[in-house]
Structure 1
Amino acid sequence: MNTSENSNEKNLNHTSPSGNGQAVVVRRLVLSGYYGFKNSGDEAVLKSILTALAEAGAEAGIRIEPIVLSGDPEWTREQYGVEAVHRMKLAEVRRAIKSSDGLISGGGSLLQDATGLGSIPYYLGVMAIARWCGKPTFVYAQGIGPVNRRMFQPFIARAFKKAAYVSVRDDESAMLLRRYGVPQQRIAVVPDPVMGLPALPEADRPEERAADTTPVVGVSVRFWRSDRADLDRVAAALEALARRHQGGVRLRFLPFHHGSDEDASRYVMERLSCDVELAPAHEDPQLMLREVSRCALLIGMRLHSLIYAANQDVPLLGISYDPKIDQFLSRLGQRAGGTTEELDSELFAEHALEIINNTSKWQQSCGGAISQLRRDARKPAQLIVSNLRQ
C-alpha cells in the first residue's frame, strides 16, 4: 500500500485510557459521501462502513472515531452515535480533517456528472483539503462514472494517484480509472460495502406479520423517464405477474428514498388492481434490510434494493436504468429482466414466476458469488486500519 502521502503533520498519536487503565490507540477518520439525506442506500453504505471500521479496529487493537460529513449533522449524530459536521461548511470540514488521521471518500457513486456538475468538484475538493492538511486519503468502494465531461478526468486521476488506498466496486469503474491514467496495481475491486451490512439483532427486530402463504414480492421503483413510460411498463409487468401466479402475490413497495420513491411507488400502485401495500421509508437501513428479508422475490430499480436482497439471500430481478445495475447483476451471474427503455411485461412476469417457484435453484446458482461478496466487503476497512497502524 502506498503511504507516500503521509507527512509529519499526520496525527497518529491519539490515545485514551481504557477501562483497565491501559492506553487505547485512537484513530480519527473523516468520512465523505452522500450522507445525511436519508436515502436508504447511501445510509446503508455509511452504516456498513462504520460497522466494518469498528470491527477491523477492534481486531487491530485500535478504536476508530469517525467524523461524518453530513447534509444533516444533527440527524447523523443521533442516528449513528458519531461525530458529524455539515458537509457544505468548508471551515468545519477543514477543522475536522485537520484533527483527523485521514479521510475516507466513499462509498457510492460520488464521482459522476450525470446528476449535475457539482458532485465531482465537491468530492475531489474534500480530498484536496485532506492532502493540503497532510492527511492520507482512502477511496472506499466507489462506483466511478458516468463522467461525460473529459475536463474532469485528469483531476480524478490526480486525486486517485495521490491516495493511500483506492478501491472501486466493479470492474467497469476500475477500467475507467485505468483509462484516465491510474495504474492498475493501485486499484482494488471490492464489493459494495452494503454486502457486509449485518441484519438486526433478534431483540431489535420488529414483530413478524402473521403467517401468510401468499408470496410477498418486494418492489423498488424510482422516477427516471420524464414521461413515466418506464413506470407504466413496470406496472403492466407486475399486473401480469399477479395474474399468472396461482393464488396471487402480495406486492409490497419499498421506498429507498424519502418522498420521491414513495411518490414513484404510488404512481405504479394506482395502476394495479392486485393486492398492493406501501412499506415505510425507513430511516434505519437495517429496518429496510429486514423488510427485504421477508420477500420471496425483490424486483428493483434501485441498486441498493438489489444489494439488500443479495445480502439476505433473497432472489432478485433487476430493472436497469444505469450501467451500475447491470454491473452488480453480472457479479451474480445474472442479467436484468428489462430496462427503463424496454420491458416485455409477459416475459418479465414469466421470469419472475420461475424464480418464485424455484427459489432454491436461484439461491444455489447465486449462493457462491453472494458468499464471496460478503467476505470481500470488509477488506477495505481492514486495509485502511492496517495502514493507520504503521
Structure 2
Amino acid sequence: MVRAICCGYYGEGNGGDEALLASLLQMLPDTVEAIALSGNPSQTETQYGVQTGDRRNAFQVLKVLRAADWFIWGGGSLIQDVTSTISPLYYTGLMGLAQQMGLTTIAWSQGIGPLQRPITRAMAKRAFSGCNLVTVRDSGSAALLTDWQIPFTLAPDPVWALDPKPVPGLWDFPAPRVAVTWRSHPLLTPKRLEILTRALVSFQQVTDTYILLVPFQLSQDLAIAELVHRAIPHHSQILKLTDPQMLRGLFQGVEMAISMRLHSLIMAASQECRCFAISYDPKVSHLMAELDFPGWELSQIPDDANIISKAWIEHYVNGDRLDRVKIQSLSDRAQLHGELLQSLINS
C-alpha cells in the first residue's frame, strides 16, 4: 500500500478546492492510501473518510511526511503570487522538503501562475523540475513548463470528471432556475456590484426565472449573495452547499449559470447549462476562450445595467450549451490525471 499526502488549499471552505480534492480521491488507485493536509482536519476526515493532518501545524506536517511514500500537490492555482507570496513559498517549500526526504513527488492538475516575482518563479521552477510526474490543466501552465523545459502532461481540469450527487430539495424550487456565483474582489466595487444586481433584477423579471445564489466560499461569497437576495427576496434562494459533488449535482437542475468562479463554470458546463462568465483571473479567461463562453472581464463590465441584462437575456433565450460530445471528451481526457497516477504505481 502506497501512502500519499494530498496537499492543497483543503479544509478552507472553498468549493473549487474541495472539488479538486474530491476528484483526486476519486481518481487515486485503490492501492494508494490518502492523507489529506487540511485547514480543518476533522471536517475533511468526516467528509471524505481519509486520514488528515493540520496543514498549519509544522509538527503534524513533518510527521505525515515521514510516514508517506508520495507527496501530491493536489490541483488548483497553488503556485501563483498575485494574491499573496505566502502561497507559493508554502507549497514550494513543502514540495522541496518532500523531495529532500526522498518521497515520490507529483504536481497534479496544476494551474501555474501568474508568477510576477523572480524569487517565486525560481522556486516554482526548481520545485517542478524535481517532480516525478507533472500534470497541468491549462495551456498557460503548459507554456510556462515548456519554457522551463520540464516534462508534463496537459489534460482538462479533473472536476470535469467528478461524480455528481443529487441536492435534496432542489426540485422543490420553482423552475426554470438560474445559478449565480459571484465572489468578492477588489475590482468588484460597490458600484459594479450595484449595477450587476440591478441587471439581475431586470433579468429575473423578464425571464421569470428563480435565482439560486451559490456561495462557493462562504467567507468571500456569502455577503454578496445576501445583498443580491435582499434585492430579489421572493424569487431567489441562497444555497450553502459544502459537498463538492452536490455542488456539481446542483447544476443538473439549472438552465443557466452566471458565474465568476472557475469550477462553478466547469460544473455548470458539464451538466449542459448555458454559461455566462465574469472573469477576475486569467484561469477564468482561459476557460472562456477555450469553450467560447460569453462574458466580460470584471474590469470591463458595462456601466449600464440594461446592457448587462439584455446580454444575459439573449444568452438565456438563444445561447448555446456545450454539446454532449464535447462534454464527454473533456470528461474522458480529464481521467488522464488519474491514469497517470496508476501508471506511476505500475512503473
Q: Which TM-score applies when normalising by structure 2?
A: 0.92
Among residues 148, 155, 160, which one is paired with 1:190 in the alignment? 155
TM-aligned CA deviation for residue 205 of structure 1: 5.1
CA distance in 1 between partners of 2:198 and 2:299 (Å): 13
CA distance in 2 between partners of 1:347 and 1:27 (Å): 55
TM-aligned CA deviation for residue 299 of structure 1: 0.6
CA distance in 1 between partners of 2:19 and 2:185 (Å): 22
Equivalence for 1:40:
15
Q: What letter corresponds to residue 382 of structure 1 in structure 2?
A: E
Q: What letter corresponds to residue 217 of structure 1 in structure 2?
A: V
CA distance in 1 between partners of 2:222 and 2:13 (Å): 13
Among residues 270, 274, 278, which one is paired with 2:238 in the alignment? 278
Equivalence for 1:223:
184
- Secondary structure in 1 matching 2:330: helix
CA distance in 2 between partners of 1:376 and 1:108 (Å): 17
Q: Does the C-alpha gap of structure 1 residues 174 and 335 become closer, same or farther in structure 2, counting only changes over 3 Å? A: farther
Residues 242-275 of structure 1: CA distance to partner in whole angstroms, max 9, x if unpaired? 2332xx1111101111233111111233345772
Equivalence for 1:15:
none
Among residues 252, 258, 270, which one is paired with 2:218 in the alignment? 258
Equivalence for 1:239:
201
Aligned length: 345
Q: What letter corresponds to residue 284 of structure 2 in structure 1?
A: I
Q: Does the C-alpha gap of structure 1 residues 171 and 322 become closer, same or farther in structure 2, counting only changes over 3 Å? A: same
Q: Which TM-score applies when normalising by structure 1?
A: 0.83
Q: What letter corresponds to residue 33 of structure 1 in structure 2?
A: G
CA distance in 1 between partners of 2:102 and 2:263 (Å): 34
CA distance in 2 between partners of 1:137 and 1:228 (Å): 44
Equivalence for 2:209:
249
1:71-110 mapped onto 2 (5 Å cutoff): 71-110=39-78
8 Å CA contact 1:332–1:370 kept in 2: the answer is no
Find out whether 1:302 has 2:261 as its counterpart.
Answer: yes
Q: What letter corresponds to residue 197 of structure 1 in structure 2?
A: L
Equivalence for 1:385:
342
Q: What letter corresponds to residue 215 of structure 1 in structure 2?
A: P
TM-aligned CA deviation for residue 331 of structure 1: 2.3
Equivalence for 1:23:
none
CA distance in 1 between partners of 2:104 and 2:14 (Å): 28
Residues 215-261 of structure 1: CA distance to partner in whole angstroms, max 9, x if unpaired? 2111001111363233223213212312332xx11111011112331
Find out whether 1:369 has 2:326 as its counterpart.
Answer: yes
CA distance in 2 between partners of 1:234 and 1:205 (Å): 27
8 Å CA contact 2:285–2:297 kept in 1: the answer is no
Find out whether 1:159 has 2:134 as its counterpart.
Answer: no
8 Å CA contact 2:167–2:250 kept in 1: the answer is no
CA distance in 1 between partners of 2:83 and 2:183 (Å): 14
Deviating more after overlay: 367-376 vs 150-159: 367-376
TM-aligned CA deviation for residue 44 of structure 1: 0.8
CA distance in 1 between partners of 2:173 and 2:47 (Å): 32
Percent identity between the two aligned chains: 31
- Structure 2 gap ranges (5+): none
- Structure 1 gap ranges (5+): 1-25
Q: Does the C-alpha gap of structure 1 residues 188 and 347 become closer, same or farther in structure 2, counting only changes over 3 Å? A: farther
Q: What letter corresponds to residue 216 of structure 1 in structure 2?
A: R
Equivalence for 2:295:
336
Cα RMSD, aligned residues only: 2.1
Equivalence for 1:209:
171
- Which structure's residues are more often helix, by fraction? 2
Q: What letter corresponds to residue 91 of structure 2 in structure 1?
A: Y
**Larger Rg belongs to:** 1
Q: Does the C-alpha gap of structure 1 residues 148 and 49 become closer, same or farther in structure 2, counting only changes over 3 Å? A: same
